[in-house]
Amino acid sequence: MKKVKKSNPFKRPLPIVVIICAVAILGLWGLGFFKADEGSVNNTPVFVVKKGPLRISVTEAGVIQAMEKIIVKNEVEGKTTVISLVDEGARVKKGDLLIELDSSNLLDQKVDQEIRVQNAEASFISARENLAVVENQAESDMDKAQLAYDFAVQDLDKYLKGEYPNELKELESKITLAEEDLTRAREKWDWSKKLYQEKYISQTELQADELAEKKKALDRELAQNDLDLFINFTHKRRLAQLESDVSQAKMALERTTRKARADVVQAEANLKAKESEYERQQDKLKKIETQIQKAKIYSPADGLVIYATSAQRGGSRYGSRSEPLSEGATVQERQELIHLPTASGYNAEVSIPEASLDKIRIGLPALVTVDALPGQRFIGRVLSIAPLPNAQSAFLNPDLKIYDTVVRLDKNGSLDLLRAGMSCTVEIIVEQYEEAVYVPIQAVLRVGKVPTAYVVKDNKLDPRKVDIGMDNNSMIRIVSGLEPGEMISLSPPLVQASVEESTLEKVPEIPPASSGVAPSSDVSGPSPDSPVPRTDRAQDDPTPSRSSGTDRPGDRFRALDKDGDGRLSREEFPSSAEGFDRLDMDKDGFIAVGEMLRTFQGGRSGRGSGESGPRDGQ
């Protein structure tokens, strides 16, 4: 059986004891038990104040772009695939095929659309012929109804002027004849009675004459009755019938006319609808044919082929690039595909961060070096600065605001070596001094808003107030307060930096809340028409604001204000109308200096009026 060895309980806690002792020693060191004299400069990094050439500049990566170029875009709707593509860098002539896009789906749509056009054309022709038939039938129906009305009117006129008078006269003549026959029969009967008395005729003959007289009296009464019936009944009924026929024929004519017109209008409307549908289908077919033609993109001019994806600005630094243009790649409508430079000049497009924007102004010189051309250096000047940050970078990173800036390169023989899309480094020179006193930027500390440097003197750190100018993110210019050769500390004591309590600045232009006017949401910001505020550094600096690096937005504003009226018009504003409208906060048609200043102050990171000097407590 294996014997178990017992462990020593006094040996296990030894590492814990060592750790506790180490922590205690570090704590005593932090409390100052092992700290040297506070004012001692032992082991403190120092720097000797220098005087010499100093360049204040902003350096950023950019891309070379042609000064003037033709942008070839995809005009095919939706998404398509690239089938064939001209090689990048190839020299092309006007009319050469650059890109062929997939049009198989469009060809299928064309076949279907041709069928729709044929159906629409057949419907249009049918509607056109139907209109002719309806118009013909309408004319026939109206003529027939008109003829029936005319016949009814003629029948009425015929009866009133012909049949009625004739029948009336005929009946009246019958009465007259019957009265004459009755008179003769009575005379004969009277004469027969006399002859019968004289015994010249027999009684039978006398009775015959009597019967004849009664018959004629009856005929005369019947003729009178026929006249009364005709006048009181037959004539009135016939007249009413004929008048009704005229009225019915007239209404039938109106109905037929209205119906015929309605049928014609309906047929015309149907024809117009079919014609419009036919034209619409034809337009669709033409559009599809046009889209098929646009699937083959030809060169609009002679030039050098540069893919738009290669000429994109920013790269992976401020957002991912688009998919490289190649065969099989998917492209969208209105997407830029190829750039064709049309001039020999070039620009350098660079994105300036918000922190460096206050140093840049139009017209500043710039040095441009191209990665692909080592040893070559190009000179240019700032041509334009975007008034608003790049929307794509702001979308990808809301905390990052960069402003697109264009540097126009001076024309010289070396420009022939450049190609659009080349990566470059742009150094925009803000100020240059042949003789300037400067120290590292970390050697200056703000103490109570006053720039302070700590001079090494008698093995002590002696604080000294200094007036500072601009910096190049490495060295800062000393306007006054230090002399060349003096030794300063590169790690000034941070405990000397004072942190002031924030107080509400009273602005006289804003009325108090009791007056009924709503207070501004930014009481510390300037009004649109207020002058450019000056910082403590600008007040302490006896040199002009341009050399001290303060009031950059105000200087830019004054440079753009050509007529000196204190506001910028659309003609004086160098950018687009959209940018002008965004800066014109009060929509009065002018940009005041305060409105421009608000744009620059929106993203400042605690550097006063934009000076890139040391921050409080650093």
pLDDT tens-digit series, residues 467-522: 998 888 888 999 998 889 888 988 877 666 654 444 545 555 545 444 333 433 34
**pLDDT tens by residue, 162-182:** 888 898 888 888 888 988 888
Which of 11-15, 191-195, 420-424, 452-456 is the least confident region? 11-15
**Contact assessment for residue 84 and residue 327, using Cβ atoms and an 8 Å cutoff:** yes
Range 480-485, long-range pairs (CB < 8 A, 24+ positions): 480/542, 481/453, 482/49, 482/437, 482/439, 482/453, 482/455, 483/49, 483/437, 484/49, 484/50, 484/51, 484/437, 485/48, 485/49
Quote the pLDDT of residue 196: 83
Count of other CB atoms within 10 angstroms of residue 183: 13
Mean pLDDT of 377-386: 92
- The rounded distance, in Å, linking the Cα atoms of 569 and 38 is 59
Residue 125 has pLDDT above 70, yes or no: yes
- Among all chains, which residue has been given the structure tokens 């047929």? 267
Taking the CA atoms of residue 229, residue 232, residue 234 and residue 235 in that order, the dihedral angle to the nearest 10 degrees is 130
**pLDDT tens by residue, 146-167:** 999 999 999 999 989 888 889 8
Which of 143-147, 247-251, 270-274, 469-473 is the least confident region? 469-473
Tokens of 336: 């830029």
Which of 313-322, 389-398, 528-537 is the least confident region? 528-537
| 3-state SS, residue 188 | helix
Report which of residues 533 and 61 the model is more confident about.
61
Quote the pLDDT of residue 508: 55
Beta-ladder partners of 475: 440
Q: What percent of the chain has pLDDT over 70?
A: 74
Got the DSSP string for 344-382?
Answer: S-EEEEEEEEGGGGGG--TT-EEEEEETTSTT-EEEEEE
| Per-residue confidence band for 613, with pLDDT thresholds at 50, 70 and 90 | very low
Tokens of 552: 């950059």
Quote the pLDDT of residue 526: 37
Quote the pLDDT of residue 615: 38
DSSP 320: P
Quote the pLDDT of residue 41: 58
Quote the pLDDT of residue 574: 67
| Per-residue confidence band for 259, with pLDDT thresholds at 50, 70 and 90 | very high
Report which of residues 250 and 18 the model is more confident about.
250
**Contact assessment for residue 549 and residue 470, using Cβ atoms and an 8 Å cutoff:** yes
**Contact assessment for residue 139 and residue 260, using Cβ atoms and an 8 Å cutoff:** yes
| Per-residue confidence band for 35, with pLDDT thresholds at 50, 70 and 90 | very low
| Per-residue confidence band for 21, with pLDDT thresholds at 50, 70 and 90 | very low
Quote the pLDDT of residue 278: 95
Radius of gyration of the chain, Cα coordinates, nearest whole angstrom: 57
Quote the pLDDT of residue 275: 94
Beta-ladder partners of 461: 456
**319's torsion region: left (phi>0), alpha (psi -120 to 50) or beta?**
left
Q: pTM for the complete prediction?
A: 0.50
Quote the pLDDT of residue 536: 37
DSSP 496: G
Beta-ladder partners of 100: 84, 296
- The rounded distance, in Å, linking the Cα atoms of 471 and 612 is 6
**Contact assessment for residue 130 and residue 274, using Cβ atoms and an 8 Å cutoff:** no
Which of 324-338, 359-373, 508-522 is the least confident region? 508-522
Quote the pLDDT of residue 459: 82
- The rounded distance, in Å, linking the Cα atoms of 216 and 213 is 5
Report which of residues 486 and 199 the model is more confident about.
486
**Contact assessment for residue 367 and residue 429, using Cβ atoms and an 8 Å cutoff:** yes
| Per-residue confidence band for 258, with pLDDT thresholds at 50, 70 and 90 | very high
Residue 529 has pLDDT above 50, yes or no: no
Cα angle: 42, vertex 33, 494; to 5 degrees: 55
Quote the pLDDT of residue 143: 93
Quote the pLDDT of residue 393: 76
Quote the pLDDT of residue 593: 66
Nearest to 46, CA basis, from 461, 495, 470: 461
Residue 120 has pLDDT above 80, yes or no: yes
Which of 7-16, 76-85, 300-309, 323-332 is the least confident region? 7-16
Residue 37 has pLDDT above 60, yes or no: no
Range 574-581, long-range pairs (CB < 8 A, 24+ positions): 574/362, 574/384, 575/384, 575/386, 575/387, 579/386, 579/387, 579/388, 580/387
Quote the pLDDT of residue 616: 40
| Per-residue confidence band for 273, with pLDDT thresholds at 50, 70 and 90 | very high
Q: Which domains does the chain have, with CATH numbers?
A: 50-78+305-318+329-495 (2.40.30.170), 105-294 (1.10.287)
Residue 142 has pLDDT above 60, yes or no: yes
Q: What is the largest CA-CA distance in the chain?
A: 205
**pLDDT tens by residue, 433-482:** 888 999 998 889 888 788 999 998 888 888 889 999 888 888 899 999 88
| Per-residue confidence band for 599, with pLDDT thresholds at 50, 70 and 90 | low
Quote the pLDDT of residue 538: 34
- The rounded distance, in Å, linking the Cα atoms of 413 and 396 is 39
Q: Which helix (H) or strand (E) holds 75?
A: none
Quote the pLDDT of residue 242: 92
Q: What percent of the chain has pLDDT over 90?
A: 36
| Per-residue confidence band for 18, with pLDDT thresholds at 50, 70 and 90 | very low
**Contact assessment for residue 477 and residue 436, using Cβ atoms and an 8 Å cutoff:** yes
**C-alpha pair distances (Å), 144 with each of 148, 155, 261, 303:** 6, 16, 15, 77
Which of 17-26, 464-473, 530-539 is the least confident region? 530-539
| 3-state SS, residue 471 | strand
